[in-house]
Structure 1
Amino acid sequence: MRQPNSCHCSSQSQLENERLKQASFLTEILSLTSSLKDHLSALFEKDNVSRNYLLSKNNQPYEGIIDYFRIEEIRKYVRVKPNRLGKQNFMGANGTFTSIGHACFSMKEELEEYMNYDVGDICKDDWKLAQKLMVHGCDPLPRRRCFSVAPKLYTRPYPINESIWKLPDDRNVRWSQYKCKNFTCLARNSTGKGFFKCSDCFNLTHHELPRWIESIYVYPNSNLTSDFLIQDILGLKPGEIRIGLDFSVGTGTFAARMRDFNVSIISATINLGAPFSEMIALRGLVPLYLTVNQRVPFFDNTLDIIHTTRFLDGWIDIVLLDFILYDWDRVLRPGGLLWIDSFFCMKEDIDDYLEVFNMLRYKKHKWVVVPKIDKDGNEVFFSAVLEKPPRPF
């Protein structure tokens, strides 16, 4: 009878030992967790939080990049800005990471010149330097803490019912960086105006007024044209086209014409030798100051239409065009339209470019290649209207 009692006592003793070991293990884990929590809290409480963020997998300190620049305003701008409460903000980040384009590092002197100013003072009239930086890949540019230069005698813009088809007041533009010093010069049919793309697009009455409303034929006695009419394109998707982007060199006429059909268009452009951005705004339309280097600032699957003319031409690298088209595809909604308007290139290159457009596997509503008559057939125009399909295919 005693033997079973002895076994029972032995089992209880072993069980008690196991419980003590588990309790000791849990106590140790809790102690380590508490220690780790205290350690992390101490890290985030340091004044220079930016040193705790690593730039790359090789643990290169973020401060090493900051120290590359000599101008203090650049350093202050690119340094990580920790949240004041030491907690994540509503965007889910512990700080704000202001960005600059990677090519800013290869244009150090130009960027430091651009950022060399007195805080709270008037900025230099250096928009041309800023645009040079952007075009060469220093995009986005850092923000500045100075007040932008404005025209000295800025006047009230014309009412919207007048401004669309009327040259703006010359006093509303800073002309110091342009060859032409007024809109009349820009609208004049002459050379030496400082730009060649869209050389007639400031002529609102004769050149711009009929665009996308009347067809222009390559040969007067034929129906051969690379121009499509807005009403025909909108007729492909009745009532569906409401908002879009025009990525072109121009003065906003495409947006003005689409406005007549109750379609809102944002016009992306830069000031290539003329005040294109100001002209678009003074007409009562929305300019988007954007280079081809940058991802378009719209969310996925949101736009009904993207239109481009006089911009993506035979100068563009095939791989770059590929990246651009994929980005445009990103922001076009399923069923949205991509309107390629008079893309021109050398005849010998057209097959390579067409292959890139075919890569999209869009539905082809319109697709035409016509000769450029002023180049003896050595250059061609390509125009197309393509519809983004639902995905996956």
Structure 2
Amino acid sequence: MNLIQEKLDVQQKKRSNIFNWRGQFTPEFVEYILDSANLQPDALIADPFAGSGTVLIESAVKGYSSVGFEINPAAYQMASFYKYSILNLAQRHELLFQIGKELTPVVSKLNGQAIYADAKDYRTAYRGLINVSKEIQNIDNNEFLPFLMNLLFLSEKDKKLTVKESLRSSFNSLKKSLLNLPFCDSEIHVLNSDARTISTHYQGNIDLILTSPPYINVFNYHQNYRAVTEAFKYDILDVAHSEFGSNRKNRGNRLLTVVQYCLDMEASINNFWHSLKDGGRLVMVVGRESNVRKTPFYNGEIVSHLISDMGGYEIKGREERSFSNKFGQRIFEDILIFEKQGKTPPNPKNAVTIAESHLKEAEKVAPTDVICDFRDVYLKLNNVKPSPIFE
């Protein structure tokens, strides 16, 4: 891939994602990577950490089949919304009509219930939204589910509206998004499954994996839209246990998260190899730097180290991209490009050793008041277990 910095940084941004999901790809960035990959028309694209589904819809627009894996129920439903892109205009209008017919009796029972009330506990604060979510959850039609849940996600922000007002506003907004989806012939598949299971579903038939994996000390994504997802009977704490690098983990010693992250990513990258075709490519976009206990760790360096040690891949390039976040800070990401090589599978047995080496490098610049945590983590290295696989 011969990549141009201006395109990687998306300096001329003209399109936005339709959903609000922290850390999601910019559509133009995905479009540029797909255009630069020299893919065959029948290529299969995968995103094992699909998030809100940007890779999936951009692939479909290009005519490529795609599959995404995502454990977070809110992101999973956002990505699943893009499956409606295969519907023609008449089918989309019929879908909206049928959903509206199901929602009418629910909305007609509402009076002046508020979406939100000021309270510390989110279940109390969002009682109005939770109650109507439970009513909508009883609509027994899986085809409607991505629309209905995204409708409620939109309403979560309407803290000053009644439930009835908010649902009407959210329905009109999501109706517009549905009708404006591109019309695609390629099907999108989305699985509410762990990235580490990708080779169970796809053995040696993926042409390109384009993904942005979690990084160390990552935001607690399971908290996003929690009021709604729990009303739909998702077990959010079960999801939380399987999140990679989450800052809620290992509260006794946050540095243990570094070790667990290495174990989780090593298992994922090994699974990616088994799911790729011979010569298939892996493109990972990783936030460059994470901080744990005021100490920097370099995600791109860790992931590259894991891949080079386990074998099975040849590095084809390393780029960077940058952007300004909402606080005006310049954020850098590493773009790691690998190609599956040979018939000999990777040997994923070095995660703990690699974690230890990066901990020792980090310790050199760590504040003196956290050195005791480094001493502690070295004693516990071989006791750390991977995050449980979400099933």
TM-score per shorter chain, which class? under 0.3
TM-score by length of 1: 0.26
The structure whose residues are more often helix, as a share, is 2
For the pair shown, which has the larger CA radius of gyration, 1 or 2? 1
Compare relative contact order (CA 8 Å, sep 6+) and give the higher one, 1 or 2: 2
